[in-house]
Amino acid sequence: MRFDGKIAIVTGAGSGFGEAIATRFAREGARVVVADLNEENGRRVVSAIAREGGAARFFRADVSRSVDVKAMIDDAVSGFGGLDILVNNAGFSHRITALWELPEEEYERVFATNVRGVYLGCKYAVPVMKARGGGVIVNTASIGAVAPRPGVTAYNATKGAVLTLTRGLAVEVAPFRIRVNAVNPVAAETGFMKTATGLDKLPDELRKQLVTTIPLGRLTEPRDVAAAVLFLASDEAEFLTGVCLPVDGGRSI
């Protein structure tokens, strides 16, 4: 299997894209740390992986907190024996609103998780990967980073920061055989949408409107993101670093 013997951490793995990424890593042979703020969901994902015969452990981490992120990396090392792959996927959007209406605390909160969280993950993973002779980091950004639309301007700015961090770090750590890439998904009906819209279900009108902007005619499914992340993390992508891969059905064209 593609990831036999590999050890991966996936943040935000209790739901949506992260759940699909963690599940697929485990199916392809990796041992996976399922990291999330939400313990109930994280443990549910670990149990589902175990039922399929995969290896996973839950670690409760708030990625915006240095102490949590350091402990999360240590947990992969002490629990599984090292770290080969880190997927910095945890993130959310503030409620859809004009930038000038966004409360300052919401701006701080979204940057703390989406940007500081990625910085902390890289900060504590790189020394471990360096000592191991290599590794791969994949960051979940967003197509909104390169083609922003109204209402989520601060959120899109966090993802712009993630892309610049990805490309800059890729150059910094290339001498240590560490690759750093990102994926840019377009809209998906995950927990993310509930937070952004404040609604349990995406209204049909809004879904239709979103779909019309996507040439392939549908929203992102978690499996699309999982497939792209696993490819970037695999040896087949050994010459790819600093890549920001759209997973968007053509929306960014």
Task: Select 112 or 132, whichever has its Cβ closest to ligand NAD.
Answer: 112
Task: Select 11 or 181, whichever has its Cβ closest to ligand NAD.
Answer: 11
* Interacting positions 147-186 with ligand NAD (CB under 6 A): 185
Query: Is 80 an interacting residue with respect to ligand NAD (CB under 6 A)?
Result: no
Length of the chain (residues): 253
Question: From residue 118 to residue 137, what is the string marking binding to ligand NAD with x (rule CB under 6 A)?
Answer: --------------------
Amino acid at 97: T
**Interface region with ligand NAD, contact rule CB under 6 A, candidates 74-82, 99-107, 189-197, 234-242:** 189-197
Query: Is 64 an interacting residue with respect to ligand NAD (CB under 6 A)?
Result: yes
Query: Is 92 an interacting residue with respect to ligand NAD (CB under 6 A)?
Result: yes
**Interface region with ligand NAD, contact rule CB under 6 A, candidates 1-9, 89-97, 197-205, 236-244:** 89-97
Cα–Cα distance for residue pair 80/3, rounded to 1 Å: 14
Active-site residue flag, 124 = no
**Interface region with ligand NAD, contact rule CB under 6 A, candidates 2-10, 87-95, 121-129, 229-237:** 87-95
Q: Element (H or E) spanning 7, and its range?
A: strand 7-11
Compute CA 241 distance to the chain's CA centroid, rounded to the nearest angstrom: 16
Phi-psi region of 40 (alpha: psi -120 to 50; beta: other; left: phi over 0): alpha
Cα–Cα distance for residue pair 73/130, rounded to 1 Å: 13
Report residue 84 as tokens.
């080969």
**Cβ–Cβ under 8 Å, residues 26 and 54:** yes
Q: Closest by alpha carbon to 154, among 208, 196, 198? A: 196
Contacts with ligand NAD, residue ranges (CB under 6 A):
11-12, 14-18, 36-38, 41, 61-64, 89-92, 113, 117, 140, 142, 185, 187-188, 190-193
